[in-house]
Structure formats: C-alpha cells, structure tokens
Homo-oligomer: A and B are copies of this chain.
C-alpha cells in the first residue's frame, strides 16, 4: 500500500539528478573505550547488521507509478536488505583524517538507490589514532538534516558504561527509561527526536509557500533589508556530481572569547571566520569580487522549551559578509551590524522548513520547480552558512566516546559550496561540502579558517 508523500518531500526527489544528489550526511568520530581491541569495530558492525527490528522510517522507500499518476509515495520495502544499507569499510594507510575526508567526499557524491529505503551507513576503521568513524547518508525526502542529526544522536547515551545499545535504525527494546534529556538544544532529547522525525512530513508541508514568499519578497522589494545584490562568484555556477568535503573543529571557548571582546554573538564570529576564510580562498584563486559576498544564515529567534515539538521559530538573515574589508576586526563589526539589522526583517519559519530551505539553497534549479518563481539573473545570495546547535554533554555509543560530529550538506546549481557548523561538547565543527570541480582546493578553507580565528583573536586582544 502506498502512503502519501508530502509535496515538500517529493521536491527533493523531483529535482534530484546525478549532478545533484539530494541527501544529507554526517560524519561521527568515536574513541573506543579503554581495553577495546582491533576486532571490536568488526563486532560492532556485525551487531549493527544483525539488528532485526528496523524502524518503519528506515524500511520505507519512495515509489511512484502509473497508478499514482506519477506522484511519489512511500511503501515498505518487502525485500529489505540491511547489508545494502550498512557497510563496513576501511581507510588506506597512513589512516589520517585526510584519508577519511577523501573517503567521505567519494561516498557523499554517490546517489542512493531509489529502489530501496533512502539511507546508507558506513562503519569506517583504519584511523591510525585508533578512533573509528561512522558516515551516514539520508535522503532529504526521507528526513531533513536536523532531524537526521537528532535521529542518529538519539541512539547515543550520556552514560559511558551503557552497553547493548541498538543502532539508530533499530527500534529501542526498552521504552520506559529514555536517558535524561539535557536542558538545552534540539538534539539531545531522544524521545522528542523520534516523535519529531515521524512528524516531519506534516511539518515540512508548508515549505514551498514559505520559500516562494521569502524569495519573492527579496526580489520585489529591493529596498528591504532582506535583499542584497549578491555578486556573481565562482561559487554561483552550475555544478557536477562529484563532491569535496572538508571538516575541522575548533574549541568553542576560543570563539566565545572573541565574541565577548567584540561585543558580538558566537554566530557572528563563526560568520567572520567563514568570511575571512572565503576572502583568502577567493583571493588566492584571483576570484575575489569587489562587492561583499552575501550569506543566507538561518538564526534562532526564540527558544521556548514548551513549544519544541511544534517547531522553534527560526529566521533567515541575508548577511553581508564584508569580504571586501581587509581588517578582521572591522569585518567582524560589519557582520555583527548586518546580522543585527537583518534580524529585524526576518520572516519566520519552522526549523524543518529552514533546513529544507538551506539544503535546496534557493537555487534556480529548485525554484524553477516551484510556482510563482520563474528565473533569476543573479544569485539571491552566495552561499548558505548554517549553525545547528548540538549536545553539550559528551555522548557514548556502547562505551565509545563520540569525539566529533561533522555535517555534510547539499551543494546545488548556483550554490557550489555549503558550510554547516554544529556544536558538540566543547568544540564547534565546520563541515564544508562543495562541488569537486567548481570549488577546487576546498581543503584550503580549513587552513584559512584556522588563520582567521588567530587573526580575530589578535584583533580582539584575546590571543
């Protein structure tokens, strides 16, 4: 029996092509518990593959037929094949993070098999430092990026001694004793996360209207704070199917100290790091425009714990990144001013809508599918920079400590680079996903981000 799919979800199937895989991804790094031997990852993999009670969300696949008049729906995969979805792989020597990022770049560029439930997980061994990694990939039609992070992290525990924990796709054997939710964040509430994930279709149903509304306003009302003249850059071109992924973490405390000294928010400093890194990167390729780059930045408006299930209020700010300003301190001040101005004019959306919007990036590609938007001659912005708050307490999976979480997002035509940040414990992780051809030497951005944080600390007098 075919269950209906919301039009918002089916957009991700309709606009997908070999150049535009519409899946989000995540990379988790784990430190095995003391005394773990080299066979433990293999045993963990076998246990994961052996999970026999797979949640309905992970068993359903997208289908359409003549009988549905070509509309997409969901049905259950009658020949569900866990070994297709969960893979065991390894890094070649010397097993550095470099090899891990190269593997994730390749995995993220491959299309999911549409005849099956739209998710894959790779358990990755072979890091020289003894850690292991898990890369997961979920189609945006099945679950949005935030809910994907929630779902995966809902399978973790804050108890390092907990064992016999099932993988994220397995139904929980015990329902009564959900681990205690911490007071902050969207992600560290397993029970709520599961309910949220299952109500995504309903939540996302308002997406196309919100998208069209926001973009139309930006296009029509050129004087409004929402609209900018984003320059054409090398990032705003048609893209190819291959991907490059780079990721690194920095201590939140360093970023917080710069924010405090500059009377800015933590997110302002994140944007300033991105701005400085993009400036250096584009300058190095002789491709820095004279006018500043514009980033679309989703920001949190209110945090009201009582209405979490109904969706937090989240807004979009079109942020002038000040990439034309040479001085790091001046650039941070400009970004802070732009964000402060922008928040006044924000429209509100649910978190699911905002993530969906970030993912399809308001690209002409996606918008051409929507009613009311025909074409655009300039990019409405140059890239999406989002920052998804994560859990503050250390998390564990069967005794292995989660050491880092790095998001992989979706570049599209016109938006060849996406930057997504997520916090976890005492670090802030930057995940940059780009088209391999349009964004060459993507990994240089890591060095530029590092240099920019140094420069910001120096400018703020906190280095």
List chain A positions with a Cβ less than 8 A from chain B: 18-19, 38-39, 41-42, 45, 79, 81, 84, 87-94, 99, 102-103, 106, 109-111, 113-116, 123, 125-126, 240-242, 436-437, 440
Known A92-B125, A93-B90, A109-B113; judge A436-B242 contact (CB<8 A). no
Is B88 a contact partner of A18 (Cβ separation < 8 A)?
no
Is B79 a contact partner of A437 (Cβ separation < 8 A)?
yes
| Least distance between A225 CB and chain B CB atoms (Å) | 38
List 6 additional A-B contacts (Cβ < 8 Å) besides A42-B93, A116-B240, A126-B126: A39-B93, A81-B436, A90-B90, A90-B93, A92-B126, A114-B241
- For the residues of A in contact with B, the DSSP-based class is loop
Known A88-B99, A93-B38; judge A116-B79 contact (CB<8 A). no
Subset of 27 A-B contacts with CB under 8 Å? A18-B18, A18-B111, A19-B115, A38-B93, A39-B93, A41-B92, A42-B94, A45-B92, A81-B436, A84-B242, A84-B436, A88-B92, A88-B99, A88-B102, A89-B89, A89-B90, A90-B91, A90-B92, A90-B93, A93-B125, A109-B113, A110-B110, A110-B111, A111-B241, A113-B240, A115-B242, A115-B437
How far apart are the CA atoms of A38 and B95 in the complex, in Å? 13
Nearest B residue (CB) for A88? B92
Contacts of A113 in B (CB 8 A): 18, 109, 240-242
Contacts of A91 in B (CB 8 A): 90
Nearest B residue (CB) for A238? B115
Contacts of A41 in B (CB 8 A): 92-93
Nearest B residue (CB) for A42? B93
| Least distance between A108 CB and chain B CB atoms (Å) | 12
How far apart are the CA atoms of A94 and B125 in the complex, in Å? 11
Is A81 a contact partner of B437 (Cβ separation < 8 A)?
yes
How far apart are the CA atoms of A66 and B463 in the complex, in Å? 56
| Least distance between A344 CB and chain B CB atoms (Å) | 42
How far apart are the CA atoms of A426 and B240 in the complex, in Å? 44
5 residue pairs, one from A and one from B, having the closest CB atoms: A115-B240, A90-B90, A90-B92, A88-B92, A110-B110
How far apart are the CA atoms of A185 and B206 in the complex, in Å? 65
The residue in A18, A19, A240 that gathers the most chain B C-beta atoms within 10 A of its C-beta is: A18
How far apart are the CA atoms of A94 and B42 in the complex, in Å? 9
Nearest B residue (CB) for A120? B106
Nearest B residue (CB) for A114? B18
Is A92 a contact partner of B93 (Cβ separation < 8 A)?
no
| Least distance between A323 CB and chain B CB atoms (Å) | 24
Contacts of A242 in B (CB 8 A): 84, 113, 115-116
Contacts of A79 in B (CB 8 A): 437, 440
| Least distance between A113 CB and chain B CB atoms (Å) | 5
| Least distance between A42 CB and chain B CB atoms (Å) | 6
Is A103 a contact partner of B89 (Cβ separation < 8 A)?
yes
Is B115 a contact partner of A87 (Cβ separation < 8 A)?
no
How far apart are the CA atoms of A123 and B92 in the complex, in Å? 9
How far apart are the CA atoms of A87 and B109 in the complex, in Å? 14
Contacts of A39 in B (CB 8 A): 93
Contacts of A99 in B (CB 8 A): 88
How far apart are the CA atoms of A103 and B103 in the complex, in Å? 13
Contacts of A102 in B (CB 8 A): 87-88
| Least distance between A370 CB and chain B CB atoms (Å) | 24
Is B126 a contact partner of A90 (Cβ separation < 8 A)?
yes
Contacts of A241 in B (CB 8 A): 111, 113-115
CB-contact partner of A111 in B42, B92, B111, B114, under 8 A: B111
The residue in A91, A94, A115 that gathers the most chain B C-beta atoms within 10 A of its C-beta is: A115
| Least distance between A174 CB and chain B CB atoms (Å) | 30
| Least distance between A116 CB and chain B CB atoms (Å) | 7
Nearest B residue (CB) for A110? B110
How far apart are the CA atoms of A312 and B301 in the complex, in Å? 73
How far apart are the CA atoms of A61 and B109 in the complex, in Å? 19
Nearest B residue (CB) for A95? B90
Contacts of A19 in B (CB 8 A): 115
How far apart are the CA atoms of A92 and B103 in the complex, in Å? 13
Nearest B residue (CB) for A99? B88
